[in-house]
Amino acid sequence: MASKCKAAVQHEVPVKKKQQEAEEDSLHSAAEALKPAYTEKPAAREDLTGELSHNPKNKPQVYGNYDCPLHLTDIEKNNNKFYTIRLLQEGDSFFCQRLWGRVGEVGNSETEEPMSLEDAKKWFEKKFREKTKNAWAERHRFKPHPGKYKLIEAHREAEAPEAAVKVRPCTLDAPTQNLIVNISSKDVFRDAMTLMKLDIKKLPQEMLSQLQITQGFAALEKLEEALKAPTDAGHSLNELSSRFYTIIPHNFGRKKPPPIDSFKLLQTKKDMLLVLDTVVKLVQTQEAALEEEEVEDVPHPLDRAYRLLKCQLQLLDQEEPEYKMIQTYLGETGKYYERLGLDHVWKVNRDGEMSESTPPPSPAITQTRSERDKLQAHSKLDNWKPLWHGTNVAVVATILNNGFRITKSLVSKSTYLALENISGMSYKDDHHVSYMFLGEETPDREHHTTVDEPSVKQPDPGFDSVIARGHTEPHLTQDTELKMDGQRVVVSQAQPTLGPEFRSSTFSQSEYPASQESQYHLCYLLEMRL
């Protein structure tokens, strides 16, 4: 066995990647609600530093659950660092190991000399208290302290049961199979997290838990209060931003972590948490599926992923009048149509879209009974508009599963929709594939605005909607009628025209923020190639 020297060594800490079958990489969808905390035996975790045994068949393993990732961000001090403590076992020997460094960089490590299990536990617990001011035995009631590390509530992957299974052929048509793969591959989420400056080196191994994400939403809620009333919030934006970054580790390199000091940045962090929320649910869904696979005959992974979306997708034939009408609407209301190729259109029917029984997806995202009741009331109105919603490919599965949810912890509490499709063109993946939703909204009693200010994103008393009127509107002379979910909807078939009434507006095109979930529901999903 190699000598265990107590010396700080610079090294790269590789991320342990769980080996999976190629098809299992596609088993991603948005589960409606999280299962209770997983209680099966967690997968064994190894010494990743290479400081101990060099025998690949006898790698030191983490003993029990004595492995904790810690994190601390302090914007004022330009701190953004991680600290991991592990108790490792190799045969009858036990070692304590710690890893530390700045988030996103190669870390340092130090491994103690071998000791008894009792002494190793004492060392581990002492180091944990020293870094967090919490007792290891009371970690389930962890209380953050200023200037101390916070425990990252990691979701541990379970060991996959060994079972010989026969996978049934996939029942989905080829375009829908490709859609499921595109919206749920690990690369999609990894790329999205990279763009959002998340520490992707740690997230695949130490997957953030649902509790951690809920705490992230709570931190954003405090930031929202501070942005609305800076003098009344009681905490500075730097302090509140540091709290959020401590809960959700970000990789800023050597740059000082930026404070979340605008509503736009707050919205970006909300989108990030929605992606993380989907990832965590998918991991748990995979584990639940693995438990069920101890049988001889199982559904194809893509079929299973499709069912977990709780959403019916009907591929439209390109010769259908419905398809051609949507194609014309897309072409006439977007400046960039000459660079677009409409590949496929799916009619979307979400389970429970108009149902009382649809539960909210997470504690931070809510839909009240009164809003559900109003959904039925809106269905009786006749001023439904067909509106576009462009989105990042990483959250398409989340929207299909959860619909457009209004999140309490965000300042705008609205989903942006438009009569023109230009806004969706900025969201495309590395293969130049873009997705947009087409749905219907009833603005009902409209309050018009021409100024982009957060204070006017919620309707005044006596109104149901705020409409941001832009320079252009689709021309009304060539409208046609389309039935969406049984509702009569007027669809423009002509290019937008300049309107003199709103020439001084700060909006180039009109936007329809849906301040209530009941005002909008999904009808179609479009796949385009740029």
Asked which of 271, 304, 337 is the last residue of a domain, the reply is 304
**Considering only 176-185, 226-235, 370-379, which range has the smallest mean pLDDT?**
370-379
Contact 425, 459 (CB under 8 A): no
Choose among 302, 394, 307, 310: nearest CA to 24: 302
Q: Are residues 400 and 298 in the same domain?
A: no
- Judgement on whether residues 294 and 399 belong to the same structural domain of the protein: no
Which pLDDT band holds residue 417 (cuts at 50, 70, 90)? Answer: very low
Instruction: Give the integer Cα–Cα distance in Å for 258 and 153.
Output: 24
Q: Is residue 127 part of a domain?
A: yes
* Average confidence (pLDDT) over 493-515: 63
The answer, yes or no, to whether residue 409 has pLDDT greater than 60, is no
Whether residue 125 contacts residue 136, with contact meaning beta carbons closer than 8 Å, is answered with yes
Q: What is the pLDDT of residue 513?
A: 59
Q: Does residue 515 carry a pLDDT above 60? A: no
Mean pLDDT, the chain, rounded, equals 69
Q: Which amino acid is at 205?
A: Q
Of 76-85, 144-153, 390-399, the one with minimum mean pLDDT is: 390-399
> 237 with 281, same domain?
yes
Query: Quick check: is 4 in a domain?
Result: no
The confidence score (pLDDT) of residue 323 equals: 92
pLDDT at 123: 96
pLDDT value of position 457: 54
Q: How far is it, in rounded angstroms, from Cα 354 to Cα 138?
A: 44
- Decide which of 205 and 168 is more confident: 168
Sign of CA dihedral 211, 215, 218, 224: negative
Provide mean pLDDT across the span 458-472. 64
Provide mean pLDDT across the span 213-217: 88
| pLDDT exceeds cutoff 50 at 226 | yes
What's the pLDDT at 497? 61
The DSSP element (H or E) to which 27 belongs, if any, is none
Per-residue pLDDT, 251: 82
The per-residue pLDDT for range 475-499, each reduced to its tens digit, is 555 566 666 555 666 665 556 566 6
Distance CA 67, CA 88 (A): 9
What b/e string do you get for 105-130 counting C-beta neighbours within 10 Å, with b at 16 or more?
A: eebebbbbebbeeeebbebbbebbee
Clarify whether residues 174 and 229 are in a common domain: yes
Range 167-191 average pLDDT: 84
Confidence of residue 204 (pLDDT cuts 50, 70, 90): very low
**Angle between the N-to-C axes of helices 301-308 and 174-184, in degrees from 0 to 180, rounded to the nearest 10:** 70
Residue 123: give its domain's CATH number: 1.20.142.10
Alpha helices in 40-173 (DSSP H): 117-132
Asked whether residue 343 is assigned to any structural domain, the reply reads: yes
Is 128 found in the same domain as 47? yes
Q: Using the predicted structure, report yes or no on whether residue 529 has a pLDDT greater than 70.
A: yes
pLDDT-derived band at 241, boundaries 50, 70, 90: very high
Contact 206, 411 (CB under 8 A): no
> Given a cut of 70, is residue 453 above it in pLDDT?
no
Average pLDDT on 240-263 reads: 89
Query: Three-state SS for 69?
Result: strand
pLDDT above 90 for 465: no
Output the pLDDT for position 91: 87
331 and 465, same domain (yes or no): yes
Percent of the chain with pLDDT over 90: 21
390 and 447 both lie in a single domain: yes
Q: Does the structure show a pLDDT above 50 at 171?
A: yes
Do 426 and 292 fall within a single domain? no
Distance CA 128, CA 125 (A): 5
Asked whether the beta carbons of 209 and 153 are under 8 A apart, the reply is yes
pLDDT at 414: 38
Give a yes or no: residue 463 inside a domain.
yes
Beta carbons of 306 and 26 less than 8 angstroms apart: no
Model confidence at 329: pLDDT above 90: no
pLDDT at 149: 95
Rounded to the nearest 10 degrees, how much is the dihedral formed by the CA atoms of 433, 434, 438, 441? 160
Nearest residue to 473 via CA among 415, 417, 420:
420
Asked if 528 and 433 touch (Cβ cutoff 8 Å), the reply is yes
- Percent with pLDDT over 70 in the chain: 50
Assign residue 483 the CATH number of its domain: 3.90.228.10
pLDDT at 225: 87
At position 214, the amino acid (one-letter code) is T
pLDDT interval class at 178 (50, 70, 90): very high
Question: Is residue 496 one of the residues assigned to a domain?
Answer: yes
Of how many residues is the chain composed? 530
Query: Which token pair is 398?
Result: 């989340």
Highest mean pLDDT among 226-235, 390-399, 519-528: 519-528
Q: Are 524 and 345 in contact (CB under 8 A)?
A: yes
* Domain final position from 269, 304, 339: 304
Residue 3 lies in a domain: no
Neighbours of 451 (CB within 10 A): 11
Flag whether pLDDT at 358 surpasses 60: no
Helix axis angle, 263-292 relative to 186-195, nearest 10°? 160
Q: Is residue 493 within 8 Å of 326, Cβ to Cβ?
A: no
Backbone angles phi, psi at 95, to 5 degrees: -135, 145
134 vs 128: CA distance, rounded Å: 7
Identify the DSSP state of 57: G
The Cα 434–Cα 337 span in angstroms is 12
CA distance 349 to 343: 20
- Rg (alpha carbons) of the chain, rounded to whole number: 26
Contact 506, 451 (CB under 8 A): yes
Instruction: Identify whether 182 is part of a domain.
Output: yes
Q: Take residue 40 and report the two structure tokens written for it.
A: 């099966």
pLDDT of the residue at 273: 83
pTM over 0.75? The answer is: no
Q: Tens of pLDDT along 85-136?
A: 999 998 889 999 999 999 878 789 898 999 999 999 999 999 999 999 999 9
Same domain, 401 and 441: yes
Of the three residues 238, 272, 304, the one that is the final residue of a domain is 304
- Determine the Cα–Cα distance for residues 177 and 344; give it in Å rounded to an integer: 12
Query: Nearest Cα to 215, choosing from 285, 267, 142, 288?
Result: 142
Q: Which residue has the tokens 């693995």?
A: 290
Q: Name the more confident of 266 and 296.
A: 266
Whether residue 418 is predicted with pLDDT greater than 60 in this model: the reply is no
Q: Is the pLDDT of residue 83 over 80?
A: yes
Please state the rounded mean pLDDT for residues 178-204. Answer: 70
CB 158 within 8 A of CB 290: yes
- Res. 317: pLDDT tops 90: yes
Instruction: Give tens-digit pLDDT for 376-399.
Output: 555 555 556 677 777 778 778 878
Rounded to 10 degrees, the C-alpha dihedral 244/246/248/250 comes to 100
**Any residues with CB less than 8 A from the CB of 158 and at least 6 apart, and which?**
38, 40, 41, 42, 43, 287, 290
46 has a pLDDT exceeding 60: no
Pairwise CA distance, residues 206 & 108, whole Å: 18
Note down the domain range covering 316: 311-529
Query: Is pLDDT larger for residue 460 or for residue 132?
Result: 132
> How many whole angstroms from its chain centre is CA 468?
27
Report pLDDT for 35. 29
Q: Rounded distance, CA 318 to CA 327, Å?
A: 9
Let me know if residue 237 belongs to a domain: yes
Residues 279 and 316 in one domain: no
Q: What is the pLDDT of residue 22?
A: 30
Residue 354 and residue 248 share a domain: no
Instruction: Give the mean model confidence (pLDDT) for residues 212-224.
Output: 89
Total domains, the chain:
2
Stretch 62-66: mean pLDDT: 90
Alpha-carbon distance values, 225 to 44, 228, 241, 400, 409 (Å): 42, 5, 12, 30, 9
Same domain, 320 and 230: no
**Neighbouring C-beta atoms of residue 64, cutoff 10 Å:** 10
